[in-house]
Structure 1
């Protein structure tokens, strides 16, 4: 089995048997009731897409970095306040959805995410400082989405300056 969709159930736990699905590449656990990431998921070494939107996660385990083939991680709409340093081991990660959490900063280890192309942070309680994000993002291809951050004023010169400094740092 390569794909398993358990979207919109009332799951709080997974059976340990899920760890036997070694060829699983796509796992959708959106809109369940997980408060912690089931540790069995960390044994799915071929997992490329992990969707955990709309659960009750307050943290991700340090061992998240074991999912070395992971390309897309969706954890929006949870209760995350920090990310583990182990996130820096997700070298193949291209898309990271963090919107609608309680993040106020991102770990320095995100520098190691050389393939990260899309980072979603909208509608977070506190938008992390833009300069720090610029330094953490290793690629010049950036998806900047500030939707639902309750900004009262946005000067478009900020976006142009941000983009120009980012390009300068990549040369």
Structure 2
């Protein structure tokens, strides 16, 4: 066996100390040497007592998949959260992207013309929730299709039927 690369890491969380060694190696004894990854873990509690130990030897081609499976399995077994998941490939193409002034004007025009949230979402390649959230920013009432938001009393002028304040 010949070691190609080795990384050692020590991590302290709460009361435990984890020592992780990741080695990439090639078995020269085999007829067809293939790169392998050996992961060794040792963990000690506050008094140095062992709380975890073990090793895993995998083909380098499946190392990422094994790492994901171990992570998912541990987190689901312990009930720990994993954080936000990656969005699916089927999400709208423009979801989360910034709006331009031209897009805002088109959104306002389509809403006032009577298009539905679903139609507008399809046109802009965004989610219906994103469209509903953007409508008030362009002065449109997301609760009343085809309508603008009312002018608040504090901003009314004589032309609006009120007195300026």
What is the TM-score with the length of structure 1 in the denominator?
0.21
Structure 1 or 2: larger strand share? Answer: 2
